[in-house]
Amino acid sequence: MVAAVLAVIDWWAVWMRKPTVERLAKPATMAALVAVASVAGDVSGDVRLWLVVGALFGLIGDVALLGAGEAAFMAGLGAFAVGHLAYVVAALFVGFDAAWAIPGVAFMVALLGYRFAAQTVPGARREGGPVLAGAVVFYAVVISAMVVTSWATAVWLAAAGAMLFALSDWVLGYQRFVRPLPGRGVSVIVPYHLGQALLIIGLATS
């Protein structure tokens, strides 16, 4: 409940362009989700550990992205990549059904095939050269693994959360490297928070 209230406050701050409120509400929301990852459900210690690690690096990434410039973006990208890998490990501890992984693969092929390869990656190369473009591609591979392994658990909540998380990152990349989209940033933050929450709760209660 606390995480939900903080998330709504952050969405309002993003929509109304209240950066001071956003700087407080965004990390506070993720901090609350770290607490959720710590106590929700009744899962093995391995799953619990990696869920907490994933959420913690999400919090670190949120704080990093509050900064401006390429250095802050790269720090945030790195933190989120580690967080995604932690969620991958948590999902693998829950279980892996290859048949269930197929929709996750299809979703990521469609998502990355739509403007990402043709527009977002070239945009990243124009802004930061091959290093930034390579980092963006690597991140896409990592988040693809997170979506596929979340689907492979056969846990609907986790799969839905992973897809929302990936969609948020797709929008963030497109807006940064190609052009703005309608929504004043809400199109990034809403699926991000919903995705993190559903992914954590889904895996924690599997």
Quickly list DSSP for 6-23.
HHHHHHHHHHHT-HHHHH
CA-to-CA distance for 69 and 55, rounded, in angstroms? 24
CA-to-CA distance for 5 and 202, rounded, in angstroms? 20
Q: Where are the domains of the chain?
A: 2-204
pTM of this prediction? 0.94
Other CB atoms closer than 10 Å to residue 182's CB: what's the count?
6
- Tell me, what's the pLDDT at 99? 96
Q: Give the phi and the psi of residue 95 in degrees, each rounded to 5.
A: 150, 160
The answer for residues whose C-beta is within 8 angstroms of residue 85's C-beta and 6 or more apart is: 142, 145, 146
For the chain, residues with pLDDT lower than 70 are none
Which residue, among 64, 37, 8, 53, has the nearest Cα to 200 in the 3D structure?
Answer: 37
Q: What is the DSSP string of 152-163?
A: HTT-HHHHHHHH
- Tell me, what's the pLDDT at 181? 83
CA-to-CA distance for 149 and 158, rounded, in angstroms? 10
Q: How many CA atoms lie within 13 A of 120 on its CB side?
A: 22
The answer for residues whose C-beta is within 8 angstroms of residue 131's C-beta and 6 or more apart is: none
- Tell me, what's the pLDDT at 4? 94
Copy the structure tokens of residue 171.
């929008």
- Tell me, what's the pLDDT at 183? 76
Task: Assess contact for 184 and 171: CB atoms under 8 A.
Answer: no
- Tell me, what's the pLDDT at 108? 97
- Tell me, what's the pLDDT at 206? 84
What SS3 state is found at 200?
Answer: helix
- Tell me, what's the pLDDT at 182? 80
